[in-house]
Structure 1
Amino acid sequence: MAVPLREVIGDVIRDARTSQGRTLREVSHSARVSLGYLSEVERGRKEASSELLSAICTALDVPLSRVLTDAGEKMASQERIATLTAVPHESGAPIDVNTKVVIPHPVAMAVA
């Protein structure tokens, strides 16, 4: 199953911030975004608008195109891994090995 884009973008933003040794507070102040909201974006809980992403990138002095390119490369890598770990089904379609199947317990039927 593909990781949501918002989570991948959040990872890229967090990586950029931490590689600069900056805190959430510093970046949120520079970007004029609440600390809580920036934290939610980094954790992939909130989908940031293009304007918000631009403000965060400006605060980090990282081009938005670099964040999007890095996110695209991470997603492509994850998709390649998912394709390699998929088990082919007899129909030819791959089955994701991470898919969980729940088989319910049989229920005794009353006979009237």
Structure 2
Amino acid sequence: MTTLLREVIGDVLRRARVEQGRTLREVSDSARVSLGYLSEVERGRKEASSELLSAICGALDVPLSRVLSEAGDEMAVEEARVAAPEPIGTAGIDVTTKVVIPQVVSMAVA
């Protein structure tokens, strides 16, 4: 499934808030954004406008350019992961499974 930009931006914003040890209420009050809407943005449910992102970044004291850069980096990693083909013959193989191949025993034919 394709990762949406709004989900990645929400993850970046949530990480920044949690790293600062701040609550949703603190950030929503500071950004003048409703608590419910900020929660929806962090969960990637709502597409935040540039004005809203700017207000949230201001409340977090994190440059908008950093949020967008981190989101872009994460999107690039996800796109590369999706685009990379699996090696031939390895699709669906559990690499932790051990296979025992018995020794060949030659049988004499009379």
1:107 counterpart residue number: none
Give per-residue Cα distances to partners, 1:58-91, cap 9 Å, x unaligned. Answer: 0000000000000000000001111124689xxx
Give per-residue Cα distances to partners, 1:18-41, cap 9 Å, x unaligned. Answer: 000000000000000000000000
* Alignment map for 1:6-45 (pairs within 5 Å): 6-45=6-45
* Alignment map for 1:32-111 (pairs within 5 Å): 32-85=32-85
- Supply the distance in 2 between the matched residues of 1:2 and 1:86 (Cα, whole angstroms): 17
- Supply the distance in 2 between the matched residues of 1:85 and 1:12 (Cα, whole angstroms): 28
- SS, match of residue 84 in structure 2: helix
Deviation at 1:8? 0.5
Q: Tell me how large the CA RMSD over aligned residues is.
A: 1.7
- Supply the distance in 2 between the matched residues of 1:48 and 1:87 (Cα, whole angstroms): 39
1:48 maps to a residue whose letter is: A
Identity of aligned residues (%): 72
- SS, match of residue 12 in structure 2: helix
- Supply the distance in 1 between the matched residues of 2:78 and 2:15 (Cα, whole angstroms): 17
2:104 counterpart residue number: none
Count how many residue pairs are aligned between Structure 1 and Structure 2.
Answer: 89
- Tell which structure's C-alpha radius of gyration is larger: 2
- Supply the distance in 1 between the matched residues of 2:2 and 2:18 (Cα, whole angstroms): 25
Name the TM-score, length of structure 1 as normaliser.
0.75
- Structure 1 stretches of 4+ with a deviation exceeding 3 A read 85-88
- Supply the distance in 2 between the matched residues of 1:5 and 1:86 (Cα, whole angstroms): 25
- Supply the distance in 2 between the matched residues of 1:18 and 1:9 (Cα, whole angstroms): 14
